[in-house]
Amino acid sequence: MAESFEPKITAFVCNWCTYAGADLTGTSRIKYQPNVRVLRLPCTGRIDFMLLAKAFSRGADGIIISGCHPNDCHYTSGNYHARRRWMVYRDLMDFMGVDIRRITFSWVSAAEGGKWAELVNEVTTSIRAMGPYTAYKAMVAAGVE
Amino acid sequence: MRIGYYPGCSLLGSSREFDESVRAVAQAIGLELAEVPDWNCCGASSAHVLDHKLSLSLPARILAQAEAAGLTEVLAPCAACYNRLTSARAELAADPVLAKEVAEVIEMPVTGKAKVVNVLEVLERFQDTIKARTVAPFGHKVACYYGCLLVRPPKVVQFDRPEDPMSMDRIMKVAGADPIDWNFKTECCGAAFSVTRTDMVARMSGKIVANAVKHGAEAIVVACPMCHSNLDMRRPEINSHLGADHQLPVLFITQALGLAMGLDPEALGLHRHMVPALALQPVAAKA
Amino acid sequence: MSRIGVFICHCGENIGGTVDCAKVAEATRSVPGVVHSVDYKYMCSDPGQNMIKAAIKEHNLTGVVVAACSPRMHEPTFRNAVAEAGLNPYLCEMANLREHCSWVHEKGEVTTQKAIDLVRVMVEKVKRNEPLQPIHVPVTKRALVLGGGIAGIQAALDIANSGHQVVLVEKSPSIGGHMSQLSETFPTLDCSQCILTPRMVEAARHPNITLMTYSELEKLEGFIGNFKATIRRKARQVDEKLCTGCGLCTTKCPNKKIPDEFNEGLSTRGAIYVPFPQAVPNKPVIDRSNCTYYKTGKCKVCEKMCPTSAIRFDQQDELVTLDIGAIVLATGFKIMRSDKFPEYGYGKSKDIVDGLQFERLASASGPTLGVMKRPSDGKEPETVVFVACSGSRDRSKGVPYCSKICCMYTAKHAMLYKHKVHHGKAYVFYMDIRSAGKDYDEFVRRAIEEDDVSYIRGRVSRIYEEDGKLVVMGADTLQNGRPVEIKADMVVLATAVQSQDGAEELAQKLHVSYDPYKFFAEAHPKLRPVETNTAGIYLAGACQAPRDIPETVAQASGAAAKVAGLFSNDELTREPQIAVVNRMPPPVWSTCVGCFLCQSACAYQAIEQEEIKARDGSVIKTVAKVNPGLCQGCGTCVATCRTKSIDIQGFSNEQIFAEIQTL
């Protein structure tokens, strides 16, 4: 049985660190798996976790959230807010039955081109192994009833 | 008041007078000493240079025995035992995985509930009682020698000032002595080189004795069996090295306090010293 | 209706070699809303840009997507081009097909498909972009410099010389700072006061500089270009207009036992005093906590003696509020004291001194008039030991960093000592020698080769007093750790440089970030060393990190340049991608419920409260309002808002949802 499933990964990244880090990956010509689609935000603090729910409901199989390292936020504290929200939200998602293994929260700085490639590859590989996230749509549908 | 008591090996052997004087003073100030049941050697220097886990298990067992007997504090007069017990307790508290392994070795729980205290800490609590019981104020100039193990490493023992401690000085003052200001309070005496390199001990302990004499000391007061041994038993080598004849006696703190409280010098073990100490009587006793 | 133009760049072979650009253009043509979709070799080139401009006019485009390199590269380029064609620049977005696609994936169908996805995402976003105008904020052209040391003086002079007003605030009675305490400076051995005092006088006399000494910042409000600073001018108890600076009062004060701060405690001063003879302004100050009159109600000798009756015992502190456009922080540093060293005797010995005390001993205006005398008994020291790295690079002392200036000033001190006591012996115990500046290493070699200073590589474990000498116990690690014991007459500790007292409180007053050692934080360690994360507040000198005089002066001039740049416009223009709280017609007014969670989330204090009033003046509701001058556009408030009443223009919820929808 040939498994030709290719996961769809949506990445929410901050403009100043991770986006720049991903640019560096490009400039360094480091190759990684092409399944990720990067959405640019000014700061991880901007991320309202409804966006994640939307991404899943639109068929994303995996999500990456990435921003500046703690203490390095371009806007001083946006990443702290993001981290705090994530701590609470993760437990909530888990409680509701969402597969939180499919969400990866990480810090990639503008100098870490290699790390970005590694991260994408790691996540893509692990999501591929988990299979498509059809359970989410089913869950939402069940809720609607 | 009741406190756990861990004499350790040296207090039953070569430093018997420390044990005798601690017990005598404890009785005089109303402190009940509850000896830790079935205690073992703390491992001293040998264990921690040979086997890390052994060096933790031996003290852990002592403390576990103390806890099993319902003791919350353990007085360890010997400075080395005090240092080993305190260090082991701190290390196991910071590493729960290691603590679990040690608990399996000693087949007893490792909780860290029993605290370890040294003789100076305990005596400070009884300052007022000591003052009240002083019938013959010590009245001599004394050099308080702390050695290295009572105040180091500072983050582990957290006791007194590491470079210029004052607790012994304060207690001696309460007993009517005149503690001198001198420079070798915490300098190394040579420790276990007493056996392998006695010449080195003669030099290092020699410096300590010389400085004490230079600053006018009539006696040296210690709270550690090793310090006592090097400064007292090795006096002939020290004197030979210095080309002098220093006869100032070395007293354990509890012996000095016992004298001040009018206890019998032989009960305090003063006759066991190499450098004669019986002659040193509190000043007021002459009156 | 949207009329979006998509322009796909080959970037030579960079994109074209991996992505099938023609195919992407074709796929995009069928996206609803796209009216024009082409590909070209080099979009950023002149012909490429002209192509975009022509297309805007020809097809009446309402939005543009340039699919090329990273927006961090060329967004400004394309936004400019679009603006020139008459379209609002914020209606132009870029899709990153190079750094995020062609450069990181293999040539093939998958990569091309990804490129198509990325372009479609940006098309959906652009459809929802609003035309935005840059924000204009007025600028008050007056600068506030906090700190009157060499950093503050240099910054004030540079700003004043570029034609703007400056207020220089210094908390001690005179400007000059630590540099005025130094005897000679490395590497030239210039007399410190000789090169400093002309600047001090220039600063005092400059028509554009207002000097406020014996003053401190009480409160700061506002934002860049529009600060309101309240300065507390502490009462000198002297009428400065009447005082001639004759100094008679200072000689007559009967209370002369107060430790003199300028001489680092090596001498005493009176309760009414001038810090040093070259003080600017040269007017005395009464130290109220030590003055007999304030303590007991008696004395007043100074008042009786003053020939111009300038003494005012009832003078009160004065609070002055100023409109300020920019602030330069130049509050300097302090050094660790010898009592922090238990191994060196807890500060008991008077003959173990720190670097600043040695400077005063060596200085011709110091307590010994520059003659080498040790503090305890005034004897000339025949052997002096200098201990470098005292406290610095030492985690157990809480200072893991290097204090930068000590290797140089220790060499200097050793040389000064040898110049004054030719037959004396000088030893320096060091760990490393950090002499990285211009002429610096040659200076240290001079100390070793010409002035016969003995350098011993090792640390000092203990110093104690014996027989009137200081026994220094160290080690020589270049001789296998051989113990070295030196009987010295005096010991000079090169103690650690630390942040100024009160730095933390000041930083909190100004909302400036600081590091764990309370040094103020720069905006970016490499590329923005004189700015802070707070717009309009700049840094100069050692308040940011230990540094020597040449670097301090350079940085102060840098900060001044930033201020002058800010002041070169009457108005400040800012990127408009900021947050906005929605406003609606009555009766709703706004979906904001006034919980102000956004306010506590904002790192820039950019959210204010606004009262929405009825016609009769009664308050209907209090809602949040974003200050466009302060908001940096991070969006943390948007994610925090419970009712989704606040959004960022340019990264709105709607836009991001649309982006996600396309995937």
- Residue C225 pLDDT > 60: yes
- Over the stretch C440-462, which tens digit does the pLDDT of each residue have? 999 999 999 999 999 999 999 99
Nearest residue on chain B to C396, judged by CA atoms?
B155
| Residue B85: predicted pLDDT | 96
- Say how far apart CA C455 and CA C401 lie, in whole Å: 22
- Say how far apart CA C123 and CA C8 lie, in whole Å: 12
Taking an 8 Å cut-off on Cβ atoms, the answer to whether A77 and C603 are in contact is: yes
Is A101's Cβ below 8 Å from some Cβ in C? Answer: no
The DSSP code for C644 is -
| DSSP-derived pairing of the beta strands B32-35 and B2-5 | parallel
Compute the average pLDDT of residues C103-107: 87
Q: Which chains have at least 3 CB atom pairs separated by less than 8 Å from chain C?
A: A, B
- Say how far apart CA A111 and CA C376 lie, in whole Å: 56
In angstroms, the first-to-last Cα distance of chain A is 34
- Residue C643 pLDDT > 90: no
Is C437's Cβ below 8 Å from some Cβ in B? Answer: no
pLDDT band of B284, cuts 50, 70, 90 = very low
Nearest residue on chain C to B184, judged by CA atoms?
C464
pLDDT band of A144, cuts 50, 70, 90 = low
- Say how far apart CA C267 and CA C274 lie, in whole Å: 14
The upper half-sphere exposure of residue C283, i.e. CA atoms within 13 Å in the direction of its Cβ, equals: 19
CB-nearest to A43 from C111, C636, C661 is C636
Is C471's Cβ below 8 Å from some Cβ in B? Answer: yes
C459 to chain B, closest Cα gap in Å: 17
User: What count of CB pairs under 8 Å joins A to C?
Assistant: 123
Q: Which chains have at least 3 CB atom pairs separated by less than 8 Å from chain B?
A: C
Residues of C within 8 A of B163 (CB-CB) are 342-343, 345-346, 462
User: What is the rounded average pLDDT for all residues in chain C?
Assistant: 91
Q: How many CB atoms lie under 10 A from the CB of residue C529? A: 16
Spatial CB neighbours of C93, under 8 Å, sequence gap ≥ 6: C63, C64, C65, C66, C71, C122, C125, C126, C129
Taking an 8 Å cut-off on Cβ atoms, the answer to whether C345 and B164 are in contact is: yes
The residue with tokens 């890390």 is B52
pLDDT band of C164, cuts 50, 70, 90 = very high
| Residue A2: predicted pLDDT | 41
C273: closest CA among C259, C284, C281, C289? C284
Do the two chains B and C touch, given a threshold of 8 Å on CB pairs and at least 3 pairs?
yes
Q: Residue C479: what residue type?
A: Q
- Over the stretch C25-54, which tens digit does the pLDDT of each residue have? 888 888 888 888 988 888 888 888 899 999
| DSSP-derived pairing of the beta strands C268-269 and C258-259 | antiparallel
Interface mutation vs chain C, best among A13, A23, A69, most C CBs within 10 Å: A23
Whether the bond between B153 and the residue before it is cis, its omega within 30 degrees of 0, is yes
Compute the average pLDDT of residues C354-376: 95
A-facing residues of C in 618-637 (CB < 8 A) are: 632-636
- Say how far apart CA B51 and CA B179 lie, in whole Å: 40
Beta bridge partners of C269: C258
| Residue A145: predicted pLDDT | 42
The upper half-sphere exposure of residue C205, i.e. CA atoms within 13 Å in the direction of its Cβ, equals: 7
Is B211's Cβ below 8 Å from some Cβ in C? Answer: yes
Question: Using an 8 Å Cβ cutoff, are A101 and A21 in contact?
Answer: no
Is A76's Cβ below 8 Å from some Cβ in C? Answer: yes
pLDDT band of B281, cuts 50, 70, 90 = low
Do the two chains A and B touch, given a threshold of 8 Å on CB pairs and at least 3 pairs?
no
CB-nearest to C466 from B163, B164, B183 is B183
Taking an 8 Å cut-off on Cβ atoms, the answer to whether B164 and C342 are in contact is: yes
CB-nearest to C603 from A19, A26, A76 is A76
Residues of C within 8 A of A48 (CB-CB) are 638-639, 653
Taking an 8 Å cut-off on Cβ atoms, the answer to whether B163 and C466 are in contact is: no
* Model pTM score: 0.80
The residue with tokens 């056996």 is B195
Compute the average pLDDT of residues C509-525: 86
C-facing residues of A in 43-72 (CB < 8 A) are: 43, 45-49, 51, 54-55, 58-60
pLDDT band of C503, cuts 50, 70, 90 = very high
DSSP string, A63-109: EEEEEPPTT--TTSSHHHHHHHHHHHHHHHHHHHT--GGGEEEEE--
